[in-house]
Amino acid sequence: MKLKPGLVPAEVIENKIFLIRGRRVMMDVHLAELYGVPTKSLNLAVKRNIERFPEDFMFQLTSAERTELKRILRFQIETSSWGGRRYLPYVFTEQGVAMLSSVLHSERAIQVNIAIMRAFVKLREILSTHKELALKLKQLEMKLEKHDEEIRAIFSRRDPFGEAIAELMAPPPEKPRHPIGFSRE
């Protein structure tokens, strides 16, 4: 089955993936929006199949985590008629999102799920590249520090070459100058 182009832009999905408790996750409200179902319906389908969603697939946010996400997103996350969500939101890891495809049975759910899986893979590739670059930079810094130490050692007067270099770099001693011209003596 081929993903319909333009169904959900990759950037939209990538902006809805957060790092919580050291895991990349998506919120139930965002997933429901992408799947085109109410958040309540998504969570109800999950609760009916809760055995498919262990803690490493899905977990509920703490109030501190929810507050932090609100601060990051800068808007109220789906409110009820009572002035706010009555329960803490659920978040789904990559495996949890994959499991959602077995719970939600619609053409759109399948297409969106494919797009989300591709976004997670793309993020993993980007993070892998960044880790490699960070490692190379660290190695380069270590080489530079080692070279700095070697250069300092060369110019140190404790090293025989350092003593010789210091003598070469020192200005020559001033020789007495002979006056120019004739003297009467």
Q: What is the pLDDT of residue 131?
A: 75
Q: What is the pLDDT of residue 68?
A: 82
In this structure, the answer to whether residues 144 and 159 fall within a common structural domain is: yes
Instruction: Sort strands 23-27 and 17-20 into parallel, antiparallel or unpaired.
Output: antiparallel
**Token reading at 162:** 């350092």
In a domain, 91, yes or no: yes
- Look at the chain and count its residues: 185
Please indicate, yes or no, whether residues 73 and 122 belong to a single structural domain of this protein. Answer: yes
The two structure tokens encoding residue 31 = 């997933």
DSSP per residue, the chain = -PPPTTSS-HHHHHTTEEEETTEEEEEHHHHHHHHTS-HHHHHHHHHHTGGG--TTTEEEPPHHHHHHHHHHHTS--S--TTSS-SSPPEEEEHHHHHHHHHH--SHHHHHHHHHHHHHHHHHHHHHHHHHHHHHHHHHHHHHHHHHHHHHHHHHSTTSHHHHHHHHHHSPPPPPPPPPSS----
* pLDDT recorded at residue 46: 92
pLDDT of residue 137: 78
Give me the pLDDT at residue 86, please.
75
pLDDT, position 1 = 42
pLDDT given at position 74: 65
* Per-residue confidence (pLDDT) for residue 60, from 0 to 100: 92
Q: What CATH number should be reported for the domain holding residue 40? A: 3.10.260
Specify whether 100 is located in the same domain as 140. Answer: no
Q: Does the residue 64 lie in any domain?
A: yes
Q: Are residue 102 and residue 153 in the same domain, yes or no?
A: no
Domain annotation covers residue 104: yes
Domain extent for 14? 10-132
pTM (2 d.p.):
0.59
Q: What is the pLDDT of residue 100?
A: 85
Same domain, 18 and 101: yes
> What pLDDT tens digit does each residue of the chain (185 aa) get?
444 545 677 788 888 888 888 888 989 999 998 888 898 989 999 999 999 999 999 999 988 888 888 777 765 455 444 445 678 899 999 889 888 878 887 778 878 888 888 888 888 787 777 777 777 777 877 877 777 777 776 666 666 666 777 777 777 778 777 777 777 76
- Are residues 88 and 42 part of one domain? yes
Domain count within the chain = 2
Do 95 and 142 fall into the same domain?
no
| Same-domain pairing of 107 and 54 | yes
Residue with tokens 């070459």: 161
